Amino acid sequence: MNIRNDIRNIAIIAHVDHGKTTLVDKLLHQAGTFRTNEQVAERAMDSNDLERERGITILAKNTAINYKETRINIMDTPGHADFGGEVERIMKMVDGVLLVVDAYEGCMPQTRFVLKKALEQNLTPIVVVNKIDRDFARPAEVVDEVIDLFIELDASEEQLEFPVVYASAINGTASTNPEKQDENMEAIYEAIIDHIPAPVDNSTDPLQFQVALLDYNDYVGRIGVGRVFRGTMKVGQQVALMKLDGSVKQFRVSKLFGFIGLKRVEIEEAKAGDLVAVSGMEDINVGETVCPVDQQEALPVLRIDEPTLQMTFLVNNSPFAGKEGKFVTARKIEERLEAQLETDVSLRVDPTDSPDAWVVSGRGELHLSILIENMRREGFELQVSKPEVIIKEIDGKKCEPVERVQIDVPEDYTGAIMESIGARKGEMVDMINNGNGQVRLIFMVPSRGLIGYTTEFLSLTRGYGIINHTFDSYLPMTPGQVGGRRQGVLVSMEAGKASTYGIMGIEDRGVIFVEPGTEVYEGMIVGEHNRENDLVVNVCKMKQATNVRSATKDQTVSMKKPRLMTLEESLEYLNEDEYCEITPQSIRLRKKLLDKNERERLAKKKKYAEA
């Protein structure tokens, strides 16, 4: 059996923030991929604005470096569970993985998730213990944790024989000795070449190429990024595309691109083992196979995790509709959602009975909020409803998604956390005391119970706690109410500008969400009530001016700071009878029914129906 020794295909996998993208950066720099005078941004692989701002990877990306005589193709994958769909498909394209683990934090929920996917594909692992320069780094214990995780996930004997490299990506150093770092990353390159298997060279056999990622370009249309599993593909070649529905389409390969550094390079042909991008097909999709016209053999379809969370997206119909956004019509919103489906395979968009509303399902709150944030930046105006988990029927039983939650907190807060997770129907699986005042708690919690939990968690732990959660499985539904907001809200009774006088008059009733001068309308939520019921208030009230001087001159009074919520916080805050209105400039919370009398009438009806 021939192998291509001049190439290696690897994916870099890790928990959020363990340093994958920084590591790829340094590998690119040290391999001499960039010219000495080339301006390269930090975390060069995170190319879109949201990735740069949040310091997270959202889309999987590929790059390649030349080391000595070998081309190393590297896939940088996201760490968040919400983008797990990206990680799974990458595993099919590579022969090995670099598992990056933080030298202080050790194995986290996402480490478990991504490693499980890699072991299921029988990939060869190399473990990189990163951030070795951190205070309190504990490399030996972290390696033990990794071995335990491998055993727990039923790794084979060969997979357990993984090499370990200790690195500090930010300093660009690595070595096989935890005590002493070499001045460069040679240890990682060498481990890749020595341990990751080279692809099989069967380039004389009939072509098989599978698409794992999609890209879009205004000039050439849809681009399929994937791996040539067998045979050779040339520009101008007539090929067959085996569609997911079983049909076959013929097309000509108009362009082929290889990767080097951050650039795409046009190439004439690609052989077995190469990772390339192909254009020329109008409607190519993830998981489809390209093969010769006369020998049509499809590769197994890529399995993609199902969405677990859904929201209703609606056309904005508030009194302020159309004032701030460029795209406000149903047609524009529908076109934008369909465009998103072109590249995002974990997303689903279903029409509803109303032409102005769509049910959008995704992998989690972050997945959907990133889509909403991108839309508002592009000038869209829309409304969304409260996120809801997707309930499935399995063997005649109603089942809901359950998440594995890992919480790291100082010891003093463990009681409060256990109580709050217990109230959300969570079950404790494990408790580890590291002996340095920090405790790690592991729970299984229904996803319903986690919606809106982050804000409560941060106030319970005064910001000292770290929470990570990842989808585990679908289990029979927990009876009763799980999670949800307990407090009622303060709702504006009229339209106008919020005044200092009006706000100060209701400050003692709860927490205010608006600043003086903010435009409000009837039915808009302007604060959180201290009690469980909703309260209608007037924040636009002005002080009556008279020409009589008061004996007690106006005292100087200070106003409390309002709580201004981010998009994620607003989505988590919503109740069933509320919408979040999103425009390029504002995020507003509102009642579905703006009129107070209508809301009361509906509440009465509900009461009678229940009685």
Whether the per-residue pLDDT at 61 is higher than 90: the answer is no
Which pLDDT score is estimated for 350? 93
Tally of residues, the chain: 611
**Six token digits for residue 554:** 């106006």
How far from 592 is each of 5, 261, 278, CA to CA, in Å?
A: 62, 50, 47
**Six token digits for residue 442:** 């592991």
Written as one letter, the residue type at 124 is T
Q: What is the strand order of the sheet 7-14 is part of? A: 61-67, 70-76, 7-14, 96-102, 124-130, 164-168, 173-175
Q: 534: which strand partners?
A: none
Q: How confident is the model at residue 50 (pLDDT cuts 50, 70, 90)?
A: very low
Question: In this predicted structure, which of 323-337, 367-381, 425-439, 522-536 has the lowest mean pLDDT?
Answer: 425-439
pLDDT tens-digit readout, 155-183: 888 888 889 999 888 888 888 888 888 88
Distance, CA of 78 to CA of 81 (rounded, Å) = 8
Ligand-binding annotation for 452, yes or no, is no
Q: How confident is the model at residue 80 (pLDDT cuts 50, 70, 90)?
A: low
- Average pLDDT, rounded, for the chain: 82
Q: 63: which strand partners?
A: 74
Ligand-binding annotation for 111, yes or no, is no
Domain with residues 7-195, CATH architecture: 3-Layer(aba) Sandwich (3.40)
What is the value of pTM for the model shown? 0.76
Distance, CA of 300 to CA of 576 (rounded, Å) = 41
CATH 3.30.70.240 positions along the chain are 392-476
Which pLDDT score is estimated for 40? 42
Whether the per-residue pLDDT at 51 is higher than 60: the answer is no
Q: How confident is the model at residue 271 (pLDDT cuts 50, 70, 90)?
A: confident
CATH 2.40.50.250 positions along the chain are 489-543+559-610
Which pLDDT score is estimated for 380? 94
CA 108 distance to own-chain centroid? 16
Ligand-binding annotation for 194, yes or no, is no
CA angle (19 as vertex; 14, 22 as ends), nearest 5 = 130
List strand residue ranges (DSSP E) for 530-577, in order: 535-537
Distance, CA of 251 to CA of 597 (rounded, Å) = 61
Whether the per-residue pLDDT at 536 is higher than 90: the answer is yes
Ligand-binding annotation for 133, yes or no, is yes
Q: Which residues have C-beta within 8 Å of that of residue 550, sequence separation ≥ 6? A: none
Percent of the chain clearing pLDDT 90 (strictly above): 18
Tokens 């681009």 label which residue?
Answer: 223
Which pLDDT score is estimated for 554? 56
Contact 22, 169 (CB under 8 A): yes
Residue with the larger pLDDT of the pair 397 and 260? 397
Ligand-binding annotation for 132, yes or no, is yes
Ligand-binding annotation for 529, yes or no, is no
CATH topology of domain 208-292: Elongation Factor Tu (Ef-tu); domain 3 (2.40.30)
Q: Which residues have C-beta within 8 Å of that of residue 548, sequence separation ≥ 6? A: none
- Which helix (H) or strand (E) segment holds residue 413: the answer is none
**Six token digits for residue 587:** 């995020």
Determine the average pLDDT of the residues in 278-302.
80
Ligand-binding annotation for 19, yes or no, is yes
Ligand-binding annotation for 20, yes or no, is yes
**Six token digits for residue 334:** 């529908």
CATH 3.40.50.300 positions along the chain are 7-195
Which pLDDT score is estimated for 215? 74
Ligand-binding annotation for 22, yes or no, is yes
- What CATH number belongs to 392-476? 3.30.70.240
Distance, CA of 214 to CA of 228 (rounded, Å) = 15
Domain with residues 489-543+559-610, CATH architecture: Beta Barrel (2.40)
Ligand-binding annotation for 497, yes or no, is no
